[in-house]
Structure 1
Amino acid sequence: MKKLFIFFFLLFSIFSYLDAKIVPSKKVFYINSYHSGLYWSDGIEKSIRKILFKSKIPIEFKRVEMDSKRNNDEKYKIRIALEIKNQIENFKPDVIITSDDNAIKYVILPHFRNSNIPIVFCGINGTIKKYEQLPNNITGMEEVQLVLEMIETLKSYSKKEKIAYLKGDSFSSVTEVEFFEKRINKKIDARFVKTIDEWKENFKDLQNSAGILLIGNGGAIKEWTRYEKELENFVKEHIKIPVVTWDYDTMKLSVLGYTTKPEEQGEWAANTALRVLNGENIKNIPIVVNKKANIYINTTLAKKLNIVFPFELIDYAEIVQ
């Protein structure tokens, strides 16, 4: 009898142990609006993975890239969004994470507006409120550039009042300018370009007509990465006015950078997804904006323009040459 009791006790213990170990994985589907190789996108995804996979929750992670910065054709974006929709339906995720605007605009709003799947976004330029009829089960972190701080820092080195903007022709660029104009309460001379030659032409033109030039990454410009070194030399030769960026990828082309941190976006999105997977109601999680930034100074271009920044800024900034 004693042996029988021990046998059943051991059997019960084994099954209890196995039952405790077999915990169903939670499924997370991640949509990158852009592509691997972009500093911004890579920083977000790396942070998402880091947070998710160090959690105690077993995670089954699937990710897709829209590649919509290099492929800005409307038909392409609609087609790739439909493909992603089908993948989501087959994967049946417990939560969806998106980064940047096009995943929301082309995948979520047309196909998952009335879905019960919780959606966590990050990297939305300006405000998510620019989209109408959002799903009820959505929250996220908006991406806000410190445009006022950039202009305030450089205005004493500027001889003209006009603010200009130069970036690739994309939906995010257009919405970004709209947000900037509201933020500074001033019209911006915005130039959206598709090629390296167009970028060069507009850069030279704005050196003579603007006081401060805002530039973003060239991910939407054809063959941008191929000509990055050439553009560095071009800017050194033709720069006449303060140029500022919010993308680290373009610091070699800028005097000053106030760059948002992709890690902040990715970490917040992943931690929020975990909160949802742990049972928290997504409707109780408010939408937030980023609060962190890195400051960079390009001393080579600053010297070219005879700009001497205050010691307080230099002490806080990282130097780029």
Structure 2
Amino acid sequence: MSYQLCMICVIINKKVLIMKKIAIIFFSLLLFFSFIKAENLIAKKKVFYINSYHSGLYWSDGIEKSIKETLLKSKIPIEFKRVEMNSKRNNNEPYKMKIAQKIKNQIENFKPDVIITSDDNAIKYVIEPYFKNSSIPIVFCGINGTIKKYKELPFNITGMEEVQLIPQLIDALKKYAKGNRIGSLDDDSFSAKAQSDFFEEQLKRKIYKKHARTIDEWKKYYVYLQNNTDILLLGNSGALINWDKNKENLEDFVKEETKIPTAAWDITVSKFVVLTFANNPEEQGRWAANAVLRILKGEDIKNIPIAINEKANIYINTTLSKKLNIVFPFELIDNAVLVK
């Protein structure tokens, strides 16, 4: 009798152990799926990024990389979606309006908590027409000059304007110039035209502006401005077809044809000009991403004022400087990168 009782006890104990194991597994799975569910609930912070241009462009790549790095370092789980307008290489109006409509539909489907835009066309073709009455917070960066040039902006917008250090460039070069006529040369994109108009406002004087549609036209304008102005401001002209493929040949052309002091604000053309004060795309991207994080943490966008860039990298072209007999002050050279 006692043996049978012992056997029953053993069986009961085994069943209890099995039930305990099942209970442990059950509660472990319950906790696991609860954790996954909680993570999914937290992860509903959505950020939609519109790149006005395209991957492979130095400026755009720098902005996007710094946006992603800054957001990734935060403790806020973020679902990040990005699109490219590709509007520097496709500069015609029908294309820009069509891609803007497509992006508008993507935004409505994605339902972001915040929208980030870089450069002008995203504001002009997507935000102004479709989101001027939206409640979605919008953070811009890379806007040439001032955001105030857009008249129908949403109320909940902030960002960093991109201001080139043109007055400082002119001050650094004017003593090497034979006169005070200033010219500018760039492609015929919307951003390039807005930029050159803003330069006139900055300097409070007329600029002799040329906007090329082809590389041959660019070369013709370059020669013309060398002979008819005293300082030339050179944009990156990235909208021109086959610009990158022809850059090496154009460098030789520039070295041959340059007669006056030349300046730029984009590192990609530092080999084309005497002096470059290059804006920093990472500064724009980091600022935009940090503003987004503040908004996602609950801060009112109205408490985040619009900012302007403050940083620049200096490049001196030693080949062109030598050709023009320009010797810069030591303090400028000491803070510059020398290129040939």
Q: Which residue of 2 aligns with 1:310?
A: 329
Greater Rg over alpha carbons, structure = 2
1:52 aligns to 2:65 (yes or no): no
Pick aligned residue for 2:135 from 106, 116, 121: 116
Counterpart-to-counterpart distance in 1, 2:225 and 2:198: 21
Equivalent residues in 2 for 1:230-249, closer than 5 Å: 230-249=249-268
1:157-198 deviation per Cα after TM superposition (whole angstroms, max 9, x unaligned): 000210000000011111111211111110000000111101
Counterpart-to-counterpart distance in 2, 1:85 and 1:76: 14
1:272 aligns to 2:291 (yes or no): yes
One-letter identity of the residue aligned with 1:226: K
Q: Is the 8 A contact 2:43 2:79 kept in 1?
A: no
Aligned partner of residue 81 in structure 2, secondary structure: strand
One-letter identity of the residue aligned with 1:262: P
One-letter identity of the residue aligned with 1:271: N
Aligned partner of residue 236 in structure 2, secondary structure: coil
Matched positions, count:
319
**Structure 1 position 11, deviation (Å):** 3.9
Q: Which residue of 1 aligns with 2:3?
A: none
Unaligned runs of 5+ in 2: 1-16
Pick aligned residue for 2:187 from 152, 164, 168: 168
Q: Which residue of 1 aligns with 2:242?
A: 223
Scaled by the length of structure 1, the TM-score of the pair is 0.95
Gap change, CA 1:290 and 1:65, over 3 Å in 2: same
How big is the alpha-carbon RMSD for the aligned residues of Structure 1 and Structure 2?
1.9
Q: Which residue of 2 aligns with 1:63?
A: 82
One-letter identity of the residue aligned with 1:258: F
Pick aligned residue for 2:310 from 281, 291, 300: 291
1:78-117 deviation per Cα after TM superposition (whole angstroms, max 9, x unaligned): 0000000011111111110000000000000101111111
**Structure 1 position 59, deviation (Å):** 1.2
Equivalent residues in 2 for 1:74-93, closer than 5 Å: 74-93=93-112
Counterpart-to-counterpart distance in 2, 1:292 and 1:25: 34
Scaled by the length of structure 2, the TM-score of the pair is 0.90
**Structure 1 position 33, deviation (Å):** 0.4
- Which contiguous aligned blocks of 4+ residues in structure 1 show a shift greater than 2 angstroms? 10-25
Counterpart-to-counterpart distance in 2, 1:239 and 1:289: 32
1:98 aligns to 2:143 (yes or no): no
Q: Which residue of 1 aligns with 2:12?
A: none
**Structure 1 position 149, deviation (Å):** 0.2
One-letter identity of the residue aligned with 1:190: K
Counterpart-to-counterpart distance in 2, 1:303 and 1:246: 21
1:271-304 deviation per Cα after TM superposition (whole angstroms, max 9, x unaligned): 1111111111112111110011111101011111
Q: Which residue of 1 aligns with 2:175?
A: 156
Q: Is the 8 A contact 1:25 1:57 kept in 2?
A: no
> Taking every aligned residue pair, what percent have the same amino acid on both sides?
63
Counterpart-to-counterpart distance in 1, 2:136 and 2:44: 16
Deviation larger for 11-20 or 199-208: 11-20
Q: Is the 8 A contact 2:146 2:161 kept in 1?
A: yes
Deviation larger for 53-62 or 231-240: 53-62
1:253 aligns to 2:268 (yes or no): no
Q: Is the 8 A contact 1:165 1:188 kept in 2?
A: yes
**Structure 1 position 133, deviation (Å):** 2.4
Q: Which residue of 1 aligns with 2:31?
A: 14
One-letter identity of the residue aligned with 1:26: K
One-letter identity of the residue aligned with 1:90: N
Q: Is the 8 A contact 2:104 2:130 kept in 1?
A: yes
Aligned partner of residue 152 in structure 2, secondary structure: coil
Pick aligned residue for 1:33 from 52, 72, 79: 52
Equivalent residues in 2 for 1:197-208, closer than 5 Å: 197-208=216-227
**Structure 1 position 14, deviation (Å):** 3.0
